[in-house]
Amino acid sequence: MSRFMCCLGGGSSSNVVQDPEEPPQPPQPPQPPEPTVSSETSDEEGFVKFQWNEIVEGTENFDITHLIGQGKVGKLYRCNFPRIHKVGAAKVHDHGDDFSGLGEFVAEITTLREADHPNVIKLLGRHYGLQNTALVYQFMPNGSLDHHLFGFVKFQWNEIVEGTENFDITHLIGQGKVGKLYRCNFPRIHKVGAAKVHDHGDDFSGLGEFVAEITTLREADHPNVIKLLGRHYGLQNTALVYQFMPNGSLDHHLFANARQVQGLTQATRVLDWNTRMRIAVGVAEGLVYVHQGLSSIHRDVKATNIVLDDNFVPKLTGFATAAKIAYDEDGVEMQREVSKNGTEGYLAPETENFGLVSTKSDVYSYGVFLLELFTGRKAYDRDRPKAREKLTDWLMPLLSLITRLEQSPIVVDVALGKKYSAQGSNRIFETARMCLNAQPLERPAMGFVETLVREAAAYLVPEEKPQVKDRRCST
């Protein structure tokens, strides 16, 4: 009769209770399985004792392309098992000399070995060795529910290193205030992403921006707001992984001297009038969603924070400084004070002078964006004369004079030639002028701005009339 009682429960570590009549004895380490493969394939029908080399070979030496996920105890890999003609999911754990995780290992076997229900995972078998344990489950091709419900993945650092080929320059998409952005291949989720990588160091710089983006974007679901695929957080590095936009940010197509990068998969092109109008409408829709759907203030609307997919559908990104809308006791929005400003040339007067933001400061930035989009000029450019460094200082006097259709060519992007709607451009510049009102309360809400931009987009570009040359008869 055994003098020991083994207490197991609910996945917790096992506790061995010794008979008080016996002298203390050191715990005996469990014995590993025999190194030779038995002629029997299982302990009993349906439960297999796997050899370590089967798991190593079935995962191609734990190649990252087989990695499914990681939990508190071990990593989960897709694993091929030719001996049983099945694909399994092997949860592998290096328990070390202290046999950590042994309680969880035994608890799962105890619970699942006898389980037989279509809605309970089936345990195919196990491996137990001096250094490693593995539990092998049936393989679920669609993964865990959270990947479909939230679409939010916790990436391993080596996935980002390998997916960018050790941060090779051919993967570089851009660089912002906090980190560099790389095109990154993720075989585990069968997607290409854009990984913004930041070395936060010992002072954890940039952590506030990291948290702000996750907080805002994790719940976002709109065709004009970038989708956050997942994140990595480590002792030295953080990374946010977004959906990859093949056409990059808007500035690459808008400004002739925009810095080109090697990580994009599509060439830049001159944007025609209709494409610009679709971008203007899409960004307006995205901001309406941010304000009304997410109850947030973007705080950094600009051309570099607008990215374009294969079809040039715009998506808002750059939520590192996003903030929640503040309301008074009556539920009326009020301005809130912030410690960090946005980008030079886009700042509303109340933000630049007093550090105050609201949805109306986003409206102001959108007005600046409209000027950039339809004039092809940067919001702020030190290479211009001092009085024209800010686009708003330069163009606002002109915008107030635009009352006749023939005055539109004064400011329209020369890259458009004559292929634009004069009526539409006048409506756009009038909308921009309203957004750029110095008084926040006098600016329209983004919902109304969206309506105005849609109305401007309804004006068609007139067809060019073929030139007819005079024919003169020779005498």
Instruction: Between 225 and 27, name the one with better pLDDT.
Output: 225
Place of tokens 């950094």: 300
Range of the domain at 201: 150-243
Q: What pLDDT does 404 receive?
A: 52
Tell me: do 346 and 393 sit in the same domain: yes
Tokens of 418: 């004559």
Q: Is residue 136 domain-resident?
A: yes
Banded model confidence at residue 315, pLDDT cuts 50, 70, 90: very high
Q: Is the pLDDT of residue 18 over 70?
A: no
Tell me: do 394 and 299 sit in the same domain: yes
Of all residues in the chain, the percent with pLDDT exceeding 90 is 53
Q: Is residue 463 domain-resident?
A: no
Tell me: do 272 and 371 sit in the same domain: yes
**Residue 111: which residues within 8 A CB-CB, separation 6 or more?**
none
Count CB atoms within 10 A of the CB of residue 304. Answer: 18
**Domain boundary residue, one of 243, 260, 280:** 243
Give the total number of structural domains in the chain.
3
Place of tokens 């309406």: 288
Banded model confidence at residue 264, pLDDT cuts 50, 70, 90: confident
Contact of 342 with 300, CB cutoff 8 Å? yes
Place of tokens 């051919």: 170
SS3 for 358-372, per residue? CHHHHHHHHHHHHHH
Tokens of 131: 């250094």
Q: Is the pLDDT of residue 12 over 70?
A: no
Q: Is the pLDDT of residue 185 over 50?
A: yes
Q: What pLDDT does 26 receive?
A: 45
Instruction: Between 246 and 152, name the one with better pLDDT.
Output: 246
Query: What is the separation of C-alpha 199 from the centre of its chain, rounded to a whole number of angstroms?
Result: 18
Q: What pLDDT does 394 receive?
A: 87
Tell me: do 215 and 262 sit in the same domain: no
pLDDT digits (tens, 9 = 90+) for 195-216: 999 887 676 667 788 888 988 8
Q: Is residue 33 domain-resident?
A: no
Query: What is the separation of C-alpha 20 from the centre of its chain, rounded to a whole number of angstroms?
Result: 58
Q: Is the pLDDT of residue 310 over 80?
A: yes
Q: Is the pLDDT of residue 11 over 80?
A: no
Q: How far apart are CA 384 and CA 396, in angstroms?
A: 16
**Domain boundary residue, one of 143, 164, 197:** 143
Q: Is the pLDDT of residue 142 over 70?
A: yes
Q: What pLDDT does 55 receive?
A: 95
Of all residues in the chain, the percent with pLDDT exceeding 70 is 81
Tokens of 56: 């190593």
Q: Is the pLDDT of residue 467 over 90?
A: no
Tell me: do 165 and 279 sit in the same domain: no
pLDDT digits (tens, 9 = 90+) for 393-410: 888 888 777 645 455 556
Q: What pLDDT does 212 receive?
A: 85
Q: Region 421-430: what's the mean pLDDT?
A: 92
Q: What pLDDT does 405 receive?
A: 47
Domain CATH number, residue 59: 3.30.200.20
pLDDT digits (tens, 9 = 90+) for 215-235: 889 889 999 999 999 999 888
Q: What is the Rg, in whole angstroms, of the alpha carbon atoms belonging to the chain?
A: 31
Domain CATH number, residue 294: 1.10.510.10
Q: Is the pLDDT of residue 474 over 70?
A: no
Tell me: do 84 and 115 sit in the same domain: yes
Q: Region 101-128: what's the mean pLDDT?
A: 88
Banded model confidence at residue 41, pLDDT cuts 50, 70, 90: very low
Q: Is residue 325 domain-resident?
A: yes
* E strand or H helix that includes residue 143: none
Count CB atoms within 10 A of the CB of residue 38. Answer: 11
Q: Is the pLDDT of residue 455 over 70?
A: yes
Q: Region 85-98: what's the mean pLDDT?
A: 87
Query: Which of 239, 237, 260 minimizes the C-alpha distance to 249?
Result: 260
Q: For residue 201, count CB atoms less than 10 angstroms from its CB and return exposed for 0-12, middle for 13-18, buried for 19 or more.
A: exposed
Banded model confidence at residue 45, pLDDT cuts 50, 70, 90: low
**Alpha helices by DSSP H, 17-117:** 52-58, 102-112
Contact of 14 with 8, CB cutoff 8 Å? yes
Q: Region 328-342: what's the mean pLDDT?
A: 88
**Domain boundary residue, one of 120, 143, 166:** 143
DSSP 236-270: SEEEEEEE--TT-BTHHHH-TTPPP-SS-SS----
Banded model confidence at residue 257, pLDDT cuts 50, 70, 90: low
Q: Is the pLDDT of residue 46 over 70?
A: no
Tell me: do 103 and 198 sit in the same domain: no
Q: Region 318-333: what's the mean pLDDT?
A: 93
pLDDT digits (tens, 9 = 90+) for 351-360: 999 999 999 9
Q: Which range is least confidently modeled, 219-223, 296-300, 452-456?
A: 219-223
Q: Is the pLDDT of residue 175 over 60?
A: yes
Banded model confidence at residue 42, pLDDT cuts 50, 70, 90: very low
Q: Region 71-93: what's the mean pLDDT?
A: 89
Tell me: do 328 and 385 sit in the same domain: yes
Query: Which of 433, 363, 427, 443 minimizes the C-alpha distance to 398?
Result: 433
Tell me: do 134 and 206 sit in the same domain: no
DSSP 270-310: ---HHHHHHHHHHHHHHHHIIIIIS-EE----SGGGEEE-T
Helices 422-435, 273-288: axis angle to 10 degrees equals 30
Tell me: do 85 and 175 sit in the same domain: no
* E strand or H helix that includes residue 51: none
Count CB atoms within 10 A of the CB of residue 209. Answer: 23
Banded model confidence at residue 75, pLDDT cuts 50, 70, 90: confident
Tell me: do 295 and 428 sit in the same domain: yes
Return the active site residues. Answer: 300
Q: Is residue 468 domain-resident?
A: no
Q: What pLDDT does 339 receive?
A: 78
**Phi/psi of residue 140, each to 5°?**
-110, 105
Tell me 440's DSSP state: G
Contact of 285 with 403, CB cutoff 8 Å? no
Q: Is the pLDDT of residue 168 over 70?
A: yes
Q: For residue 122, count CB atoms less than 10 angstroms from its CB and return exposed for 0-12, middle for 13-18, buried for 19 or more.
A: middle
Q: Region 139-166: what's the mean pLDDT?
A: 80
Helix (H) and strand (E) counts in the chain? 12, 23
Which of helix, strand or coil describes residue 460?
coil
Contact of 66 with 78, CB cutoff 8 Å? yes
Q: What pLDDT does 369 receive?
A: 97
Q: Is beta strand 306-308 parallel, antiparallel or unpaired with respect to 228-233?
A: unpaired
Which of helix, strand or coil describes residue 159?
helix
User: Measured in Å, how far apart are the chain's first and last C-alpha atoms?
Assistant: 130
Q: How far apart are CA 66 and CA 50, in angstroms?
A: 18
Q: Is residue 35 domain-resident?
A: no
Tell me: do 220 and 358 sit in the same domain: no
Count CB atoms within 10 A of the CB of residue 120. Answer: 10
Tokens of 397: 């006097």
Q: Is residue 467 domain-resident?
A: no
Q: How far apart are CA 190 and CA 192, in angstroms?
A: 7
Query: Which of 298, 370, 291 minimizes the C-alpha distance to 333?
Result: 291
Q: What does pLDDT average to over the chain?
A: 83
Q: What pLDDT does 152 receive?
A: 74
* E strand or H helix that includes residue 356: strand 356-357
Contact of 280 with 271, CB cutoff 8 Å? no
Q: Is residue 110 domain-resident?
A: yes
Q: What pLDDT does 44 receive?
A: 54
